[in-house]
Amino acid sequence: MNQQELEGILQKAAELKVFCEYGERTIPILDEVASFVREISPAIEDLRAVVEVSMVNIPKAADQLARVTQATEQASTEILNTLDKMVATLDEVIGSVASGMVSSEVGIATKKVSVIVKSLVDKSGWDEDIVKLAEAWDVHLQSLRMSGPTSNLERLLKDLQNDCTEIMMALQVQDITQQHIGAVMGTIQAVAEGLRKLTTGFFSTATAESLPPLPAMLVQTEKENVGDVERKKMVESLLSKARAGQL
Amino acid sequence: MTSMKILIVDDSITIRRIITNALKTVGFPETIEAANGKDALEKLASANVDFIITDWNMPEMNGLDFIKQVRANPLYSALPILMITTRGTEHDVIEALQAKVNSYIVKPFTPQELKEKIEGILKTVQVNTV
């Protein structure tokens, strides 16, 4: 409702007042209506200003949230790429350590002897003494793995690999955050839609038509009021009921 | 290690990779991926899938509609399905169970939790088959 329309209403009220000279009781009511319209006129102007600013800011806020999601997804992908490389490298190193092939002089010598022993067994046609030598060598290799820094190193490397897995699992936070941002976007979209209706139906300005569309995101509107532990308990309880045919 | 082929359905590449890695660490190395329910139905038709892990919120076809389609198709209706989602209300879980999902995990999850759920489902499925 603009100033011109408000003045129109006041004009009509004034004309009505003239026509209603016969009904003195209606004149005070019309005066009150006119007074009310005058009072709310500045408030409506203020509201229009707030709505117009909000209609510009809401899509901006939604766009910023969408950018946060994109940025965290990209970062997660990069972290996962690095972790994949680390896990693959650790696999190789663990394999080498487990077979006693650490990159030291002893390791290289051990590897050479292992190859020679294997070759001897093959060439000898499984000669009894050579097989015994190979078995003794295997026992020696096992004792090497079990003792000293090599076994500690293997354990440490496996711990590192487990740490990599834990970091990977922690990246679920990206998806969880994205889902929650999606829910906020849903609320923002609902507010924007309400304001859009308000501007087209009440203020009749061009604001609504000129607004950019909100970025599309999956919307999850479900309320989740419990913590992770309670939620998991609730899920397990329902699964048990379902298994017992009680759902 | 098992040769069971698991179809992972999730629109998030991050989550697909996380599930794939978690499955590898608990002895399920063979996986294929789909970005939504529609994509998953195509993968089901072209690959020999033994087990399905699906998200709920996805574009084009969400997880719940996907499960309903799988259960309605005699070719795949007996496939075990585990849903992994951020949706954690009682209403959500009941809705998923009514769509005949075998089990349900609310994110975040651990590899161990994933392993226990899969083994639990497989045990139940075997018992029912016997």
- Could you state, in order of their start, the residue ranges of all structural domains in chain B? 6-129
Nearest Cβ partner for A171 among B18, B25, B91: B18
Domain CATH for A24: 1.10.287
- How many C-alpha atoms does A224 have within 13 Å on its Cβ side? 24
Q: What are phi and psi of A244, to 5 degrees?
A: -85, 5
- Contacts of residue B111 in chain A, CB cutoff 8 Å? 165, 169
Q: Which amino acid is at B124?
A: T
- Contacts of residue A171 in chain B, CB cutoff 8 Å? 14, 18
CA-CA distances (angstroms) from residue A142 to A55, A99, A131, A139, A145?
A: 72, 9, 17, 5, 5
**What pLDDT shows up at residue A222?**
45
Q: Are the C-beta atoms of A205 and A100 separated by less than 8 Å?
A: no
State which residues form the domain around A178: 3-243
Q: Which residues pair with B89 in a beta bridge?
A: none
What average pLDDT score do residues B71-97 get? 95
State pTM to two decimals.
Answer: 0.69
Percentage above 90 pLDDT, chain A: 15
- Which of B70-82 are b and which e, b meaning 16 or more Cβ less than 10 Å from the residue's Cβ? bbeeeebeebbbb
Chain B CA closest to residue A227: B88
Name the residue with higher pLDDT: A198 or A135. Answer: A135
Q: What's the total number of domains in chain A?
A: 1
CATH number of B6-129: 3.40.50.2300
Interface test with A, best of B86, B92, B106, B117 (most A CBs within 10 A): B86
What average pLDDT score do residues B15-38 get? 96
Report pLDDT digits (tens) over A67-95.
999 999 999 999 999 999 999 999 888 88
Q: Two tokens at A194?
A: 């309400």
Chain A CA closest to residue B108: A172
